[in-house]
Amino acid sequence: MKKQHAFYSALKALLPVLALYAGAARADTQIDNYTGTWLTDDRQGVVSVEPCLSAPDTICGYLVGFLDTDNMPLNRALCRFRIMGGLVPLDDKLKKGWLFDLETGNAYNLILRLRNQGQGINLKVYENSKFLSETLTWTRIDPERANAMGLAFCQP
């Protein structure tokens, strides 16, 4: 009887570790669904969503393509500019993030949610209250399609 009790005690001690591992695997799978290149709602830019360089356990977005302009110094300065960050998987969303608006210079709170079987993401952008939010929709895009639309990608 004592052997059986010891086995159950050991199993009981391992359950939190197993649950943590299963939760981490779910979070990694969820993050993988968001990674890739996305066309912004105004069709003016392409953002690469990927783990943050400075904090790999969070998700960031880097500007990697934009309408081709003749202003090469500006184009170079914007390449790989981080326009969103701090996103962490919670429930079925990425939350607790921020989005930087290049036009106004302001940063806003951000929540991402997948749509259309992973072919789009909704960005809920808000300043103080989620009730006063704006929802933007970005579309997954491959580089060939972006080039055909006149978008230039950053050169390494």
Q: For 145, list phi and psi in degrees, rounded to 5.
A: -65, -40
Span 78-91, mean pLDDT? 93
Span 25-32, mean pLDDT? 58
CATH 2.40.128.520 fits 31-153, yes or no: yes
pLDDT greater than 50 at residue 16: no
Span 102-115, mean pLDDT? 94
The separation between CA 93 and the C-alpha centre of its own chain, rounded to angstroms, equals 10
Considering the chain, what is the average pLDDT of its residues?
Answer: 81
Domain range list for the chain: 31-153
Q: Provide the whole-model pTM.
A: 0.77
pLDDT greater than 80 at residue 98: yes
Span 139-151, mean pLDDT? 89
Q: For 90, list phi and psi in degrees, rounded to 5.
A: -140, 125
pLDDT greater than 70 at residue 76: yes
What is the structure's pLDDT at 37? 95
Q: How confident is the model at residue 3 (pLDDT cuts 50, 70, 90)?
A: low
| CA pair distance 152, 100, nearest whole angstrom | 21
Q: Residues 63-75: pLDDT tens digits?
A: 999 886 677 777 7
**Residue 139 near residue 36 (C-beta atoms within 8 A):** no
What is the structure's pLDDT at 75? 74
Q: What token pair was written down for 93?
A: 């969303």
What is the structure's pLDDT at 73? 77
Could you tell me which residue, 70 or 146, shows the higher pLDDT?
Answer: 146
What is the structure's pLDDT at 106? 95
